[in-house]
Every structure is written in C-alpha cells, then in structure tokens.
C-alpha cells in the first residue's frame, strides 16, 4: 500500500488529517540574496511570516487522489492549484477532495485550522480534463500585461532549454534554490510512503513525490532573464504527469516556454511551462506550469511612482 494516511469520507468529499508542514527553504538563496522563505526578508515585505513553499502542500493530496484512482495517479495524474494564503511553520493544514459528475476529475481545497483557505484547484487523471490553471492562464493571456520593469526582457513564446540533464537523487542536494536532499524531504514529508525510497511499488524503482516535481523543474538556471535582484513567490502551480512516474536518480531534460506575462498591484508575474523529458529516450514524462511573481518593492530599480 502506498499510504497509511487516515481518510474521512463525507458524501462526495474525502478529507485527510490535519498536518503541520515543515519549512525546508529557510536557507534558500538566488541572485546573491535570501528568498521570501527567510524570516527577515518576509518581514521586510510586510508578510506575517516566512511562508512554507507552496508545493509542500501537494503531498497531502496524494493519499486522497490515490484512494480514488490508484496507481493511475502517479502515471497520468495532474494537480493544478491556485495558492490563496501563505502558511508558516507550526500552522496546521487539512486537505480535502470532492468528486463531481466526471469520474476522472475532482475539486481540491486546503484550509488552515481556523478555516482560512490555503489553496484551491483540481486533480485529475484525464489528459483532456479542464484544470484550475487552464482557465486562469487563458484569462491572463487575454489581457495586456501593461508596462513591465522587471520582466520587460521576456516575450510570450520565448523558450529556454537546459544545457545538461537533471535528476532528483535520494542523497544529492538540489543547489542553492533547494538546499535539501530527497532523503531530507522524506524525513519530514507529511505523507510518507515506501514507494519514494524503496523498490516496493508497481514499477520496481523509487518514484519522485509530486511535491518534488517543481524542485526538478526549477533546480537549475535558464536564460529567461529577469531584472533584479528581486524577491519572488509562487502564485499558481500545476504538475501534470504525461507518461510517468518520475523516477529517483533518472536523468531528465527540461524545455521551458513563457506562456504569459502580467502584473498586479504588488507583483509582476510570468507563466512558464517546463516540459520534462527522458534524457535517454526523449519521451515526454511530465509538464510543470508555474505562475510566479516578483515583488515590485523588492527591486531597487523599480520606479517609485509605480509602487
């Protein structure tokens, strides 16, 4: 069995237990500075605390989706979420999944102990299913981004391919962006499974947890240049397995494309889709769609009259 997580059914909704996700990015650094996950940086930006990285919450949905779709979840599953409220270490989070008329699609939500929404979205195992981010991306693509000062060197359709293959090893660290190993993560992951670090699964090899797909997709740099230094954050994230699972220690090649640009009062943002392919065969394994923002106030060169 993949998980021992207790699940509570209530009509069409199933709910997992309250968990307290751990902060793994307090030492994250890029562009020569600490990230929003550092307490001092978060405080300077007026945030209530250093947020836990959004994909950390994905693990709480794995037992729910697996209970519905079994191994299909790891082979063709998709989790697509809009992050609503940041979570700091010590806060509890509860995940739920609600099935509707379509057998291969469900709604998901996560809330804090006081009911504050953490994220909302969809999970599915049908490649043709409409996802939470499919609709949000289309909305941004239909709007003009306005004048940009940090993302002005990017264009929609621009591509970037990594020069070397990347992998997630059990004991190898993942650079300054993700200063921990998979074994470190599995030591604190909210929903542990022997499938992640042993051969005890249907594929006979350890598989990469959904929350680590984003690490694989973003652990190395690219030539999608933004102005900085500036502090960033995740706004929306979708992980789609096309022909999986992703395997621990396997080499993959990343191919990125900018799909949209935009801004809000506090951030400039861009949507980047990363295709993950097997380095050995070229087979398309997964796609990671990230909508991330850069805080305008964190960039020293931002025009004062635009803040």
- Walk along the chain (307 residues) and give the pLDDT tens digit of each residue: 799 999 999 999 999 999 999 887 765 554 544 545 555 554 565 556 667 899 999 999 999 999 999 999 999 999 999 999 989 888 999 999 999 999 999 999 999 999 999 999 999 999 999 999 999 999 999 999 999 999 999 999 999 877 779 999 999 987 777 888 999 999 999 999 999 999 999 999 999 999 999 999 988 877 888 998 888 889 999 999 999 999 999 999 999 999 999 999 999 999 999 999 999 999 999 999 999 999 999 999 999 999 8
What CATH code would you report for 8-306?
Answer: 3.10.129.10
Angle at CA of residue 36, ends 35 and 41, nearest 5°? 90
From the CB of residue 105, how many other CB atoms can be counted at a distance below 10 Å?
A: 18
Radius of gyration for the alpha carbons in the chain, expressed in angstroms and rounded: 19
- Bridge partners of residue 234, in order along the sequence: 292
Give SS3 for 33: strand
From the CB of residue 183, how many other CB atoms can be counted at a distance below 10 Å?
A: 13
Determine the Cα–Cα distance for residues 225 and 23; give it in Å rounded to an integer: 28
Determine the Cα–Cα distance for residues 231 and 296; give it in Å rounded to an integer: 8
Alpha carbon 37 to its chain's center = 15
Helix or strand (DSSP H, E) at 280? none
Report yes or no: 76 and 245 within 8 Å, Cβ to Cβ.
no
Report yes or no: 83 and 118 within 8 Å, Cβ to Cβ.
yes
Burial of 98 (0-12, 13-18, 19+ CB in 10 A): middle
Closest of 107, 77, 119, 137 to residue 272, by C-alpha? 137
Helix or strand (DSSP H, E) at 98? strand 93-99
- Bridge partners of residue 273, in order along the sequence: 257, 289
Report yes or no: 35 and 231 within 8 Å, Cβ to Cβ.
yes
């Amino acid at each position: 069995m993949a998980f021992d997580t207790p699940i509570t059914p209530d009509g069409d909704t199933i709910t997992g237990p309250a968990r307290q996700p751990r902060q793994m990015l307090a030492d994250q650094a890029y562009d020569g500075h600490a990230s929003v996950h550092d307490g001092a940086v978060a405080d300077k930006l007026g945030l209530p605390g250093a947020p836990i990285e959004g994909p950390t919450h994905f693990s709480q949905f794995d037992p729910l989706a697996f209970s519905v779709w079994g191994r299909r979840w790891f082979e063709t599953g998709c989790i697509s979420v809009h992050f609503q409220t940041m979570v700091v270490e010590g806060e509890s989070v509860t995940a739920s999944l609600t099935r509707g008329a379509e057998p291969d699609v469900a709604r998901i939500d996560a809330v804090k102990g006081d009911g504050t929404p953490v994220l909302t979205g969809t999970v599915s195992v049908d490649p043709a299913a409409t996802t939470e981010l499919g609709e949000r991306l289309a909305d941004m693509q239909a709007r003009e981004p306005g004048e940009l000062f940090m993302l002005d060197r990017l264009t929609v359709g621009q591509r970037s391919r990594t020069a070397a293959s990347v992998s997630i090893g059990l004991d190898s660290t993942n650079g300054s962006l993700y200063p921990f190993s998979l074994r470190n993560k599995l030591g604190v992951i909210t929903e542990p499974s022997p499938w992640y670090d042993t051969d005890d699964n249907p594929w006979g090899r350890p598989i990469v947890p959904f929350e680590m797909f984003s690490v694989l997709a973003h652990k190395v740099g690219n030539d999608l240049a933004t102005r900085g230094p500036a502090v960033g954050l995740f706004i929306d994230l979708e992980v789609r397995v096309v022909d999986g699972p992703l395997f621990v220690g396997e080499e993959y090649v990343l191919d990125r494309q900018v799909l949209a640009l935009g801004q809000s009062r506090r951030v400039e943002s861009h949507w980047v889709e990363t295709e993950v392919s097997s380095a050995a065969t070229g087979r398309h394994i997964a796609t990671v769609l990230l909508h991330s923002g850069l805080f305008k106030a964190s960039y020293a060169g931002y025009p004062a009259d635009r803040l």
